[in-house]
């Protein structure tokens, strides 16, 4: 049973480009959570999605960031017109339901570097 | 809302010595508590979690933690560390009925030979 998968593991973008980060939840999991880890900091919640629905996006920056979790395929975190401050590690986690014991299922992360 | 404070940003310790990484939390509701380890350029690995029951929780790699409700603490301990335990350790909480994991800023454990 494969765990949570994220790709790419490393992504380099120039300022102004778009970044697309993908998260494939564990099999049977329909809830996805995205977190961001800035250098030298802990993880910060960004958004919680169920299939085709955004449940809570209170941690998402108001501009340039969007997330989706379509009926088919992985969840996508999209960052438009990236800036240097977007350089961070982005982690996703999944759970079978919206239970609070989901925290053991984190993906390996995507490390975004904006040059 | 919840918050987590990890009291030490860095903890240097000699190999085979005991170690304690401190974590305090605040919450207006009951919480679940977690410790994660993150090796350089890797994702999070769950060390242990407290959901209910016995306040002494044993995890992987010889780590254990004790939930102290009156002190609102969840300190992580290991009686004898190895070089391979060098990593970043994160304490985290979720309020019961919630879904956002709130992380501490992390403690960097550095084990010296």
Residue B60 burial (C-beta neighbours within 10 Å; 0-12, 13-18, 19+): exposed
Q: Which two tokens stand for residue B17?
A: 């010595």
- Domains defined along chain B, listed by start: 2-112 (2.60.40.10)
Contact residues, chain B, for A106 at CB < 8 Å: 36, 43-44, 46
Q: Which two tokens stand for residue A27?
A: 């099999």
Q: Which two tokens stand for residue B106?
A: 């992390």
pLDDT at B57: 96
Name the phi and psi angles at A35, rounded to 5: -130, 150
Residue in chain B lying closest to A40 (CA): B105
- Kindly state the average pLDDT of the residues A7-26: 97
Q: What is the pLDDT of residues B72-87, one digit of tens each?
A: 999 999 999 999 999 9
| pLDDT above 90 (res B2) | no
Contact residues, chain B, for A34 at CB < 8 Å: none
Q: What is the mean pLDDT of chain A?
A: 90
Nearest to B32 among A43, A45, A101 (CB): A101
Contact residues, chain A, for B105 at CB < 8 Å: 41-42
Q: What is the pLDDT of residues B7-39, one digit of tens each?
A: 999 999 999 999 999 999 999 888 899 999 998
pLDDT at A45: 92
């Amino acid at each position: 049973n494969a765990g949570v998968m994220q790709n790419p593991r490393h992504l380099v973008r120039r300022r102004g480009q778009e970044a697309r980060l993908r998260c494939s939840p564990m099999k049977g999991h329909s809830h996805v959570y995205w977190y961001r880890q800035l250098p030298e900091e802990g993880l910060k919640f960004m958004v919680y999605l169920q299939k085709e629905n955004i449940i809570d996006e209170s941690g998402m920056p108001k501009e340039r960031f969007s997330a989706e979790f379509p009926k088919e395929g992985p969840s996508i975190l999209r960052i438009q017109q990236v800036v240097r401050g977007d350089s961070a590690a982005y982690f996703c986690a999944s759970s079978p339901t919206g239970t609070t014991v989901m925290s053991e299922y984190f993906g390996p992360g995507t490390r975004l570097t904006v040059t | 809302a919840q918050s987590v404070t990890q009291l030490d940003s860095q903890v240097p310790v000699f190999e085979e010595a005991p170690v304690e990484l401190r974590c305090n939390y605040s919450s207006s509701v009951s919480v679940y508590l977690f410790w994660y380890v993150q090796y350089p350029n890797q994702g999070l690995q769950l060390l242990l979690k407290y959901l209910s029951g016995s306040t002494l929780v044993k995890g992987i790699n010889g780590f254990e933690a004790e939930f102290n409700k009156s002190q609102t603490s969840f300190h992580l301990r290991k009686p004898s560390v190895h070089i391979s335990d060098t990593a970043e350790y994160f304490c985290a909480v979720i309020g019961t009925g919630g879904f956002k994991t709130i992380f501490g800023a992390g403690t960097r454990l550095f084990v010296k030979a």
